[in-house]
Structure 1
């Protein structure tokens, strides 16, 4: 017998629509979403935090038109209802334990999400770990393989090495036979953490010019693929550090989006390198679904047997969402921040 579905639920809301962490609050009168088309209704157990959530909270993130205003894109939980629709993917039943990726709405007790973006939760993994997989690991998969066209034996540099996407990327590159895996990070502690996951070497960007150190480490060759979240402040150094015929994949602008000063763009020709920006949330369901399938086929077995790790820095209650956002803003974490729906 299907569980009774309430009309309203608790969800994280934002006073006046945007603001700092103090503007977050629990709205207990939020309507429970109604699934349509290919969607299931999932009762959420845990959800993951991502840096885009901070930007959306501040009104600085372009949310897809169909997305709900509630924050959050990754979650774990139990299917509470399924519509009688031919668009629903086969193989799902009410009561199934799942985790998945959504366009928004995960900071809540319930979420309406496409069945094409759900994954069966393995018994070997906790609810909290599963809630930290979808956005970060799918983003890393997209950057490494679809955009970066990474091949076995190539070298890769992950900026913000202790961030959740780079943690995933380090492990993906390691298992796919990278020739070398480099990272940048803000402390020796974070660099050591990355090396434990499989990074070859790290560069502390606060203590020197990481691009010169990387060129020294590669005998002047540079690196085949750079995955960058920093943007403008690293643009010049990225062009120094990329190898001939290399790729720079940009996923964010933590260091600004306006390049300042004189920049020699002749390096694009001399190195025959490519700079390409990408995002995941703005992609259509078919594109995201292919990445989900790749995650299930290639990564899920490695999660089950322990080859892939999802380091969880801290688990909060949903009612502690302000503290969770403040910790993410501190840039002191090494791994995922997860909220459990209390």
Structure 2
């Protein structure tokens, strides 16, 4: 099969087309003939040598796939050949075929094509696990999202607004990105390049504070975020793009009953991921089918142009999702 491999660690140019053996389905796996694959920040980090694939996973990048099942393992009962599905894998998505544990496979939401379906798994798994499972976002609470036009940010904003009627605040780096935030569930978008974002948030929430903060920046942001949290507030870290270390006042956690969590889904087992998948299918997939929650695809590229897709993320020009079209004949 044709696939994209990381020839060495470096810039987008290290992504090269190659030939690899087709994957074989294990007892509890399915093999998907890939129609489209999503592009995510973890793929970029893997390309740079900062986020290696977990033991036993394919070294081919790509965590999002959508396509048609062509083979099921001997112990698989919930899926059959010919099913239209999307899935979260631990790697291997930038290829014509991808093997995935059956628990991490989900039906394509009604009315969506393969490119749209491929844009869903990684960002919705991440958003749901963090704001709903770890963050315990309750009805009409206030959520702050750092990076409102990332794929995860746009997913989190819509989940919070549609399923919890939350007040959603978000940061973004341009006026255009702020406008896009507001189109996808954000009540107030703050341009972090125009003044101090923490002061702007404080002016909006006052002494009540923010109930839940979803952050991929960490480092110097954390100290500011802790001070913004409400009594019982939850700070959810999903990455540390600004640095590995933060200076925080731990006494605040005791005084105000705060919670700090970190999350990485890729290395978790299929049972753990299957629970998230089940909740997404029951609670979010109907909203996607109804159009009350939407995905936004900024660009589509053929598989051979994976480097061009990565260049957009490297330049921090991503709004929503970038998708690789692997087989345009699969819909």
- TM-score over 0.5 for the alignment? yes
Partner of residue 242, structure 2:
255
The reply on whether 1:126 has 2:113 as its aligned counterpart is yes
Partner of residue 5, structure 2:
13
Aligned-residue RMSD, C-alpha: 1.3
Q: Deviations over 1:218-269 (max 9, x none)?
A: 122210000110011211111121111100010001111123xx65333223
Structure 2 length as normaliser, TM-score? 0.95
Partner of residue 271, structure 1:
256
Partner of residue 294, structure 2:
309
Residues 129 and 209 of structure 1, relative CA distance in 2, 3 Å threshold: same
Residues 292 and 182 of structure 1, relative CA distance in 2, 3 Å threshold: same
Partner of residue 71, structure 1:
61
Alignment of 1:106-125 (within 5 A): 106-125=93-112
Q: Which runs of 5+ in 1 are unaligned?
A: 1-8
Partner of residue 198, structure 2:
211
Separation in structure 2 between the aligned mates of residue 309 and residue 39 of structure 1, nearest angstrom = 29
| CA contact 1:212–1:241 (8 Å) conserved in 2 | no
Residues 41 and 54 of structure 1, relative CA distance in 2, 3 Å threshold: same
Structure 1 length as normaliser, TM-score? 0.92
Among 51, 55, 70, the alignment partner of 1:80 is 70
Alignment of 1:1-342 (within 5 A): 9-16=1-8, 18-27=9-18, 29-83=19-73, 85-86=74-75, 88=76, 90-259=77-246, 263-342=248-327
Residues 188 and 220 of structure 1, relative CA distance in 2, 3 Å threshold: farther
Q: Measure how far apart 1:178 and its partner are.
A: 3.5
Separation in structure 2 between the aligned mates of residue 157 and residue 123 of structure 1, nearest angstrom = 30
SS at match of 2:95: coil
Separation in structure 1 between the aligned mates of residue 188 and residue 255 of structure 2, nearest angstrom = 27
Aligned residues: 327
Q: Deviations over 1:133-187 (max 9, x none)?
A: 0110111000011110111121111111100001000000001233411101111
Task: Report which structure shows greater RCO (CA 8 Å, sep ≥6).
Answer: 2
Separation in structure 1 between the aligned mates of residue 310 and residue 35 of structure 2, nearest angstrom = 19
SS at match of 2:32: strand
Residues 74 and 210 of structure 1, relative CA distance in 2, 3 Å threshold: same
| CA contact 1:211–1:240 (8 Å) conserved in 2 | no
Partner of residue 6, structure 1:
none
Separation in structure 2 between the aligned mates of residue 138 and residue 146 of structure 1, nearest angstrom = 11
Separation in structure 1 between the aligned mates of residue 152 and residue 224 of structure 2, nearest angstrom = 21
Separation in structure 1 between the aligned mates of residue 261 and residue 80 of structure 2, nearest angstrom = 40
Q: Which runs of 5+ in 2 are unaligned?
A: none
